[in-house]
Amino acid sequence: MSSPSRSEAVKTVANLVVPPPREAVPAELGEYGSDVFDAEVMQKFLPKDICTKLQATIERGEALDPAIAGDVAHAMKEWALSRGATSYTHWFQPLTGGTAEKHDSFLEPSGCRAIFSFSGKNLIMGEPDASSFPSGGLRSTFEARGYTAWDPTSPAFIKRHSNGATLCIPTAFCSYTGEALDKKTPLLRSIQALSRSTRRLMKCFGLPGDEKVSVTLGVEQEYFLIDRRFYLQRPDLLQTGRTLFGAPPAKHQQLEDHYFGSIKTRVLNFMTEVEQELWKLGIPAKTRHNEVAPAQFELAPVFEDVNLACDHNMLVMEILRQTAERHGLVCLLHEKPFAGVNGSGKHNNWSISYGGRNLLNPGNDPHQNAIFLTVLCAVIEAVDRHGDLLRAAVSGAGNDHRLGANEAPPAVISMYLGDQLSDVIDQLEKGAPRSSRHANTMKIGVDTLPTLPRDATDRNRTSPFAFTGNKFEFRAPGSSQSCSGANVTLNVIVAEAFDRMAETHEKFGKENFNAALQKHLQSLVKAHKRIIFNGDGYTDEWLKEAAARGLPNARTTMESLRCLNDEANRALFEKYQVFSTRETESRFEVFLEDYHRKVRIEGQVALEMARTMVLPAAENEYERLLRTLCQAKEAGVKQGSAAVKKQAAELGALLETCHGACAALAKALTGKHEEILAAMAELRKSVDALEKVLPDDLWPVPKYREMLFIM
Ligand code: ADP
Ligand code: MG
């Protein structure tokens, strides 16, 4: 027996001819946003007064005036038809973590002819059959209806396939009783909550309390690309998104020659097409590069309003997957597709601006400086108080293989500020501002706060939550996850910290505001500085130190989700009207079930692969060795027999171990998830050991060295 399909795949990939570089064609931006129902299109397709009303709704995030819905729907339809779309769908984000759509055509039969029509009602609300989406008990089958409601703050867009196109209307998804069944609803609620708290806090600084608050998000998306021919031969990748077996090749990422290396032409062709597709959708893809692991890459767009950025990230993932297919590749978004090399995350760059000014931008003048330090201290407090919630927000079966597995970033949530900002915080704590490391002190009225360094942060890739110049970068979210969960949590915990801050500041007198502020910030730093850590987050010393500081370290999804049952946490979400207690409970149920299902599926796939692919290959080889021994004996050849005998014995021992591990996994599959995970890890050891000794042509599935290096 040999594995012809594996070697065929290698040959085919080897024979791929990448087209030569193209001739110079002047680049154009004409296509940018061409598939988005944006302000420009609205002006073209809508009467002026209605356009103004719609814009105001979008700007202020208010409910749409039902009286104009009909006109807006008509304009959208006309535009969609002009762009080749004949169907529409409410596009939403159920708790599966993906996106959902149910298409309806604009077609309306009229006698023996038909017209295209689209009503205001169809735009504003939809009623998909919701019974099969996870609801965590929120929706019993007798009230299975769910509603999708248009979110005008995220523009409608067109999705194309090879012979048609569909108008997609971003929507929130709720139950009959108004409970959130999706990822968008709580995000919109959390933005409102944080906006309220921000305005309140800004008033304390004498600013008008009615300016626009924007929460901004820039998402760096990591992913792997492998040739589709290899992918199709790996049942584990097909069914679980990650390799359940695979011995690490001699060379993987230890030479660090992939990170920021020159991008292979085949990959660059893929990336270019991804960018073209994203630009059409008005998604500002900006940066592309090789990542640390072989076959790992990253894409980052320019930041946008968080709601839009979250929608856009869902589209980014979809377009990465679809474009890969057209290039004979597969895009793996799993957090840990390959053991032994880096996993993939989704760096969540978060900031908040008021009246167009970034509150996390260290200021130039004393007033701005004071606001910056206040916001910074509030975020420090928020992350220290609620690190457990941030950890829970990024939990999941896939991400468990990154967080808590001695990989970046660790499961302990800590905050990196960099040397200079830490120095500033130190000074605040000591209450005796002196010259900061690189600059003079700066006066705020009668009191002094240190001058703030601009953009002076170092790079620390090991911190899960790092200040990077004018934003916080939360690095724990997993590459496959929706950004919504992390940002809902961030928004709520910061809203709470802002409110606490405002509650104190509102009591300060006008004359001694600065002195009181300084004192208050000092007390906050004292109380919460344990969260600040600038060192290497990968080390065991840090884990010990973190434990000594009392920082939680939830290594697994199960451990991390527990905090959703805490009264105080439920009350927090309830207070900010982001999740009712019932909604928090339902999410806990959904996440837990998702986790259990994924672990069980992995266990079943691993067992099947071992029994039907790996063991037969090993037994073949064992048989060959035994035959060789018999033949040697018959022929009376002694030389070599001892070596073959030894080899057969070693293989026999491995076979036994592997059989035993299969039996143990089969038993574990009737039990708890911890047992399944442990049994899978044991089985993997013996399978990977077999991979290393069996003749290469017998190995039934593509190896790491092929998947990661042949492209
Ligand atoms: P890095 O060096 O970590 O790659 P970049 O400066 O390239 O950092 O930014 C990473 C992401 O952060 C980008 O998506 C960028 O648009 C985003 N970003 C920059 N400023 C802000 C901000 N004020 N709010 C949110 N995201 C931001
Ligand atoms: Mg970054």
For 242-268, how does the pLDDT look when each residue is reduced to its tens digit (9 = 90+)? 999 999 888 777 777 777 788 889 999
| Residue 219 CA, closest ligand 1 atom number | 14
The answer to whether residue 454 scores a pLDDT higher than 70 is no
Cβ(358) – ligand 1 distance below 6 Å: yes
Tell me, what amino acid is at 709? F
Cβ(460) – ligand 1 distance below 6 Å: no
Collect all residues with Cβ–Cβ distance below 8 Å to 702 and sequence separation of at least 6.
6, 9, 230, 233, 234
Cβ(284) – ligand 1 distance below 6 Å: no
Q: What is the pLDDT of residue 58?
A: 87
Alpha-carbon distance of 518 to 524, in angstroms, equals: 10
Cβ(451) – ligand 1 distance below 6 Å: no
The answer to whether residue 464 scores a pLDDT higher than 70 is yes
Q: What is the pLDDT of residue 589?
A: 95
Q: What is the pLDDT of residue 664?
A: 98
Q: Are 698 and 620 in contact (CB under 8 A)?
A: yes
Cβ(463) – ligand 1 distance below 6 Å: no
Cβ(218) – ligand 1 distance below 6 Å: yes
Q: What is the pLDDT of residue 128?
A: 81
Q: How far, in Å, from the CA of 301 to the mean position of ligand 1? A: 8
Q: What is the pLDDT of residue 405?
A: 76
Q: Are 89 and 128 in contact (CB under 8 A)?
A: no
Nearest residue by C-alpha to atom 14 in ligand 1 = 218
Q: How far, in Å, from the CA of 478 to the mean position of ligand 2? A: 14
Q: What is the pLDDT of residue 458?
A: 53
Delimit the CATH 1.20.120.1560 region(s) of the chain: 598-707
**CATH (residue range 190-245+252-597):** 3.30.590.10
CA atoms within 13 A on the CB side of 3: 24
Percent of the chain past pLDDT 90, that is, above it, reads: 77
The answer to whether residue 584 scores a pLDDT higher than 80 is yes
The answer to whether residue 435 scores a pLDDT higher than 50 is no
User: What is the per-residue pLDDT across 265-321, written as a single tens digit (0 to 9) for each?
Assistant: 999 999 999 999 999 999 999 999 998 889 999 999 999 999 999 999 999 999 999
Give the mutation target among 303, 304, 306 for probing the ligand 1 site: most ligand atoms within 8 A of CB. 303
pLDDT band at residue 607, thresholds of 50, 70 and 90?
A: very high
Cβ(149) – ligand 1 distance below 6 Å: no
Cβ(316) – ligand 1 distance below 6 Å: no
- Per-residue three-class SS string for 283-336: CCEEEEEECCCCCEEEEEECCEEHHHHHHHHHHHHHHHHHHHHHCCEEEECCCC
The answer to whether residue 437 scores a pLDDT higher than 90 is no
Q: How far, in Å, from the CA of 306 to the mean position of ligand 1? A: 13
Percent of the chain past pLDDT 70, that is, above it, reads: 95
The answer to whether residue 434 scores a pLDDT higher than 70 is no
Q: Is 537 helix (H, G, I), strand (E, B) or coil?
A: coil
The residue that leads in pLDDT, 445 or 190, is 190
Q: How far, in Å, from the CA of 472 to the mean position of ligand 1? A: 9
Domain 598-707 falls in which CATH fold?
Four Helix Bundle (Hemerythrin (Met), subunit A) (1.20.120)
Q: What is the pLDDT of residue 442?
A: 37
pLDDT band at residue 143, thresholds of 50, 70 and 90?
A: low
Delimit the CATH 3.30.590.10 region(s) of the chain: 190-245+252-597
Complete DSSP assignment for 441-501: EEEETTEEEEPPPSS-----TT-SEEE-SSSEEE--SBTTS-SHHHHHHHHHHHHHHHHHH
Closest ligand to 346 CA?
Answer: 2
Mean pLDDT across the stretch 435-454?
46
Give the mutation target among 278, 286, 359, 471 for probing the ligand 1 site: most ligand atoms within 8 A of CB. 471
Closest ligand to 471 CA?
Answer: 1
Q: How far, in Å, from the CA of 349 to the mean position of ligand 1? A: 6
Cβ(479) – ligand 1 distance below 6 Å: no
Mean pLDDT across the stretch 636-640?
94
Nearest residue by C-alpha to atom 13 in ligand 1 = 218
Alpha-carbon distance of 497 to 378, in angstroms, equals: 5
The DSSP bridge partners found for residue 169 are 90
Omega of the bond prior to 450 within 30 degrees of 0, cis? Answer: no
The residue that leads in pLDDT, 614 or 15, is 614
Q: Are 301 and 446 in contact (CB under 8 A)?
A: no
Q: What is the pLDDT of residue 451?
A: 58
Domain 36-82+85-182 class, CATH top level: alpha beta
Give the residue from 307, 308, 306, 312 showing the smallest Cα distance to 278.
Answer: 312
| Residue 361 CA, closest ligand 1 atom number | 23
The answer to whether residue 198 scores a pLDDT higher than 50 is yes
The residue that leads in pLDDT, 203 or 452, is 203
Nearest residue by C-alpha to atom 6 in ligand 1 = 468
Nearest residue by C-alpha to atom 17 in ligand 1 = 218
Cβ(283) – ligand 1 distance below 6 Å: no
Closest ligand to 472 CA?
Answer: 1
Delimit the CATH 3.10.20.70 region(s) of the chain: 36-82+85-182
Of 249-258, 538-547, 618-627, 688-697, the one with minimum mean pLDDT is 249-258
Q: What is the pLDDT of residue 445?
A: 37
Q: What is the pLDDT of residue 52?
A: 93
User: What is the per-residue pLDDT across 477-527, written as a single tens digit (0 to 9) for each?
Assistant: 999 999 999 999 999 999 999 999 999 999 998 888 888 999 999 999 999
What's the mean pLDDT when you consider all of the chain? 91
Most confidently modeled range among 56-65, 174-183, 534-543, 641-650:
641-650
Q: What is the pLDDT of residue 294?
A: 92
How big is the CA angle at 77 (ends 75 and 79), to the nearest 5 degrees? 70
Closest ligand to 347 CA?
Answer: 2
pTM: 0.94
Of 51-60, 642-651, 688-697, the one with minimum mean pLDDT is 51-60
Cβ(353) – ligand 1 distance below 6 Å: no
Q: How far, in Å, from the CA of 292 to the mean position of ligand 1? A: 19
Alpha-carbon distance of 648 to 134, in angstroms, equals: 51
The answer to whether residue 23 scores a pLDDT higher than 70 is yes
Per-residue CA distances from 387 to 140, 414, 573 (Å): 33, 8, 15
Give the torsion through C-alpha atoms of 199, 204, 208, 210, to 10 deg.
Answer: 10
Which sign does the torsion angle of CA 478, 319, 98, 234 carry?
Answer: negative
The tokens for 480 are: 């496959």
Q: How far, in Å, from the CA of 178 to the mean position of ligand 2? A: 37
Alpha-carbon distance of 385 to 377, in angstroms, equals: 12
pLDDT band at residue 430, thresholds of 50, 70 and 90?
A: confident
Q: Is 532 helix (H, G, I), strand (E, B) or coil?
A: strand
User: What is the per-residue pLDDT across 662-710, written as a single tens digit (0 to 9) for each?
Assistant: 999 999 999 999 999 999 999 999 999 999 999 999 999 999 999 999 9
Q: What is the pLDDT of residue 186?
A: 98
Q: What is the pLDDT of residue 252?
A: 78
Cβ(258) – ligand 1 distance below 6 Å: no
Alpha-carbon distance of 220 to 535, in angstroms, equals: 23
Alpha-carbon distance of 574 to 102, in angstroms, equals: 32
| Residue 303 CA, closest ligand 1 atom number | 16
Q: Are 204 and 672 in contact (CB under 8 A)?
A: no
CA atoms within 13 A on the CB side of 284: 10
| Residue 353 CA, closest ligand 1 atom number | 23
Cβ(351) – ligand 1 distance below 6 Å: yes
pLDDT band at residue 440, thresholds of 50, 70 and 90?
A: very low
Tell me, what amino acid is at 7? S
Q: What is the pLDDT of residue 144?
A: 66
Cβ(571) – ligand 1 distance below 6 Å: no
Q: What is the pLDDT of residue 436?
A: 44
How many Cβ atoms sit within 10 Å of the Cβ of residue 46? 22
User: What is the per-residue pLDDT across 357-409, written as a single tens digit (0 to 9) for each?
Assistant: 999 998 777 788 899 999 999 999 999 999 999 999 999 999 999 997 767 78
The answer to whether residue 433 scores a pLDDT higher than 90 is no
